[in-house]
Structure 1
Amino acid sequence: MTLQVGNILEGKVVNITNFGAFVEISGKTGLVHISEISDTYVKDIRNHLKEQDKVKVKVIAIDENGKISLSIRQALPKKSSRPIEIDWDMERRRSANMSFEERLAKFLRESEERFQDLKRSQDSKRSGGYSRR
């Protein structure tokens, strides 16, 4: 199979450097840059890959000198961009089955959590650089 931009192939990691990993595909070696390893920030490639690992890669570029740029990140299945459906009536149904005491306890707990968040926010603003005079 000839290498073409857009192909997704399985390859083997043959070398790891600080800036990326070299992967052998179809008898040729291409580079997966550190930014194309994962969707998350990658500080050390060795935490994500090891030599001899089998990985799926997408060919993202082939330059005129024959250098092959690969991406593991782009070869991953796309996450759904659909918004999460929220059942807004679930809370109402849940609270309908609660006793008055349970509702009151829940209200007090949530109020205390909100109050603590507000207090932390105000404290951080006060100590954050400007002094009051």
Structure 2
Amino acid sequence: MEVVRIVLGVVLLVVTAALAVQLWKGRWLFLIAKPDKTKKGTFYPEGTHKSGQCVSWVMVACFAVIATLIAYQMGILSGSDLFAQAATILSNIALVAYCVVLVWAVFSSQKGKEGSFRERFDGGSYRVLILLLGTCVLLTVVGLLFV
């Protein structure tokens, strides 16, 4: 069962890393905003790329939490109490950092600024919120699985 946990953790690491990189580069913006289709092509609202970069920082923090939970599991498997304790401390620090970055990503957009989260929520697009809540659910499930 422990090996399955580690393999699942590595798969989640790859997924969060891919999300972070692709959102930072602006390739998977469809995950956070509904594209506008016109005769000239598909466009995203202004500020979507900046929002994608904010969400990518959340994915980096999520990556750190998952990585430290895997390190904790490896410390348990190896029988090294010192390594497991160090991983626990780093995991707690990463979890606090995740919470701070999550709050920053949601509230970083200034009121009245073009492309802010508030404008997108008023327009009925909840993709960013669903993605961020999905990371919260993912970390809760992973935390229960690894502890």
Q: Please state which band the TM-score falls in when normalised by the shorter chain.
A: under 0.3
State the TM-score, normalizing by the size of structure 2.
0.24
Q: Which structure has the highest strand share of the two?
A: 1
More helix by share: 2
Point out the structure with max Rg over C-alpha.
Answer: 1
Specify which structure has the bigger relative contact order, considering alpha-carbon pairs within 8 angstroms and separated by 6 or more residues. 2
TM-score normalized with structure 1 length: 0.26
